[in-house]
Amino acid sequence: MKFIFVVQGEGRGHATQAIALQERLQDSGHEVVKVFYGTSPHRPIADFVKEKFEGKLAYYDSPNFLPSKKKTNILKSFFYNLLLSRHFYQSADSLAADIAGIQADRVVNFYEPLLGVAYSRNKILQPMICIAHQYTFLHPDYSFPKGFFLRKRMLQYLTNKTRQQAMFSIALSLVPMSDLEEKHIYVAPPLIRKQVLQATSRQGDYIHGYLLNEGYLQEIDNPSLNIDVNLFVGEACTSKNPHVKTFLLNDSQYLSSMAGAKAVICTAGFETVAEAMYLGKPVWVVPVNFEQQCNANEMQRGGAGVADKHFDIARLNHFVSHYINNNVNFPTWEREHRHKIVDLLTAE
């Protein structure tokens, strides 16, 4: 079969999921013929995305979170994107026309809301299948953080918008849950890349970190920190603390660092947490928005780490020295259901 990917470009998670799925489809004799990647003036495209999809990439304008030093301003981002809604409708129609001109059997949507809009406004013959961890938010067994009623409903509304006209959706989950066939939602483990699956986990003497928002560097860049940290960032910055080494996001170097670390710190992006859990690394997260609070909650249910409001150095030192990783079920769940996604995508 031939596939088209449409990838929301926010963060690195959806892109790495698309890379992992391309690997699995190719190993099964299928082909990804085109990858449409959502862009905005506020988010650079990582070099590893260009490398993995070389010769297949095309770009379109899509909504995004406005950049921030720390926590994401959801309301400000909402109104910013609302002002550009006419432009985004045009982008959706253009995307639909581009897809219609490509010979492919199916379109895989990595949580791009504009693709749902494109299918609702245009006649696109190729069936759409949606993949994202956010579809677990529609599952009755999903455990949300307490409170946040309005944010929960808004997140579920947006998630349903991305799957308008979809043939079915695949919910990526850190913990096993049942399929919802009546809602056309199937649950599978996270899409973990071959490089991670083949990596040898080691117990090094440093912490691996990933920060999407550079403002948190100030919390880690603290004179009382006495643990070495390999910190990967989206934009160049320098630490004053000799224990903290900063690196621009690089795929191979990033994975090598994670595999050899004693623990992982990040802002609760789903893919980073999933990779760390697979490698058996205890994870300490500081969520930047409600969606990441959900990821953190699910991670703690899986026994893989802890969540906090800040990168507190005293707690970090204690976490690394005393935390016992209780994450024992996730690697088994991933291995036993690794082929489920490809089987669903290629079923006649």
Average pLDDT over residues 171-180: 93
Residue 184 DSSP code: T
Whether residue 230 sits in one domain with residue 119 = no
pLDDT tens across 121-144, in order? 898 999 999 999 999 999 999 988
Statement to judge: residues 319 and 229 lie in one domain? yes
Q: Strand 228-233 to strand 244-248: parallel, antiparallel, or no bridges (unpaired)?
A: parallel
Whole-number Cα distances in Å, 342 to 31, 177, 178, 207, 212: 12, 18, 18, 34, 30
CATH code, domain carrying 269: 3.40.50.2000
Confidence at residue 172, expressed as pLDDT on a 0 to 100 scale = 96
Q: Span 33-58, mean pLDDT?
A: 85
* Same domain, yes or no: 46 and 104: yes
Query: Which of 129, 121, 115, 100 has the alpha carbon at shortest distance from 25?
Result: 129
pLDDT digits (tens, 9 = 90+) for 47-94: 888 889 999 999 988 777 645 555 555 555 554 555 556 777 888 898
Res 83: pLDDT? 58
Which pLDDT value is given to residue 66?
Answer: 45
Residue 311 structure tokens: 């990168």
Domain count, the chain: 2
CA pair distance 220, 239, nearest whole angstrom: 9
Which CATH number belongs to the domain containing residue 64 in this structure?
3.40.50
203 and 218 fall within a common domain: yes
Residue 108: pLDDT above 60?
yes
Residue 239 pLDDT exceeds 70: yes
Which range, of 192-206, 237-251, 288-302, 312-326, averages the lowest pLDDT? 312-326
Q: 68-82, 136-150, 218-232, 278-292: which has the minimum mean pLDDT?
A: 68-82
pLDDT averaged over every residue in the chain: 85
Q: Are residues 168 and 219 in the same domain?
A: no
Contact 6, 57 (CB under 8 A): no
Dig out the tokens for 62 from the structure.
């899509």
Whether residue 216 contacts residue 286, with contact meaning beta carbons closer than 8 Å, is answered with yes
pLDDT of residue 72: 55
Strand partners, 53: none
Average pLDDT over residues 159-186: 93
**Residue 44 corresponds to which tokens in the numbers above?**
């650079």
User: Does 292 score more than 90 pLDDT?
Assistant: no
Burial of 149 (0-12, 13-18, 19+ CB in 10 A): exposed
Q: Give the CA distances from residue 318 to residues 26, 219, 259, 285, in Å, rounded to whole numbers and listed in that order.
A: 44, 16, 21, 14
**Buried (b) or exposed (e) across 51-69, using 16+ Cβ within 10 A?**
ebbeebbeebbbbbbebbe
Tell me: the pLDDT tens digits for 311-337?
A: 777 777 777 777 776 666 888 889 999
Output the CA torsion 59→75→235→58 (10° steps).
Answer: 0
For residue 79, the model assigns a pLDDT of: 46
Residue 227 sits in the same domain as residue 282: yes
* 242 plus 203 within the same structural domain: yes
Residue 324 sits in the same domain as residue 339: no
Residue 38 lies in domain: 2-194+335-346
pTM of the predicted structure, to 2 decimals: 0.88
Give the model's pLDDT for residue 73: 52
Residues 144, 21 share a domain? yes
